[in-house]
Structure 1
Amino acid sequence: MLTFKGCHYPEAVVLYAVYFYVRYSVSYRDLEEIMAERGVTLDHTTLNRWVIKYSRALAQAAKKRKRPGNPSCWTDETYIEVKRQWIYLYRAVDKYGDTLDFMLSERRDEEAVTHFFLHTVGSNGLPEKVVIDKSGANYAGLLNLNLLLLWLGWHHLVEIRQIKYLNNIVEQDHRFIKRITRPMLGFKAFHSAEATLAGIETAHMIRKGQLNLQGLPGFQQFASLAG
């Protein structure tokens, strides 16, 4: 359970502000005005602290509650600007577009991809098939995963399909993330980007109905993660 001790604002206000920022295309100054119209006076720097402080924990709770994914996995990376440099957001979705996992990385290499695949398997189980583009790093990461499975004595390895046009599922799914991050005009630090993106991915999972709480509005589903 999250603790809101020391916030000086009701829990519902904090969660509403965080949810609104990670769900809609607004800047912190826009959100400051939106909250003021609702009778809550806040500074945009306070909103920033709330998003960074709570988004990661809410994302962890969402990963535990989301419905199981399909054993077919589509993986790709997109670009996020941090400190005026482009870094990589690795993302995996299943054949129905449900989010399986995500990871922000400063590198786009075999080591980073291997770590992402191991993390995804740890959170979602072993996929039967993974579809990737023509990236050599992605292919090497999957080979490392299969080598590890052989070393552990597994007889069923992950099928690797490296066909660019088949990767449209995850490439289309990137669009929501990019639309939300566009007004942010880049991040100033890696840790703030990582936390904020975790919140955005959580809102995206709720939008796709992955928490099996479709009868509740999006904000109520988001707020339930704090309990």
Structure 2
Amino acid sequence: MSHAIWLSVRFSLSFRDVEELLAQRGIVVTYETVRQWCLTFGQTSANELRRRRPRCGDTWHLDEVYLKINGKTHSLWRAGDQDGNVLDILVQSRRNKKAAKRFFAPRFSKGYNTFHA
């Protein structure tokens, strides 16, 4: 039962898809049973998945990489924390560091102590 709920919540699968995946494992349930399980226990399972998600560090920085899209050079900005986890990305057709900082600042100013450019 918990595996069916996990599949539905984690991968946003339909109840019929979960029914088929369980049938491949030899577990015969109807999609209606999976739906009832998800209604009853789905929110608790989703909260648990969210709680277990790795936490980001307390500092973040910007990295800039150039790439070509359809033969034109673009700037790819990545916001990352001190552990190397990519927090968000931004692609610009023209390089504008000030706009990139403005784009990322509201997303990461809460809960992050410092910014390193």
Query: Which structure has greater strand proportion?
Result: 2
* TM-score for both structures, normalised by structure 1: 0.27
Query: Which structure has greater helix proportion?
Result: 1
Q: Give the structure with higher Rg (CA).
A: 2
Higher relative contact order (CA 8 A, sep 6+): 1
* TM-score for both structures, normalised by structure 2: 0.47
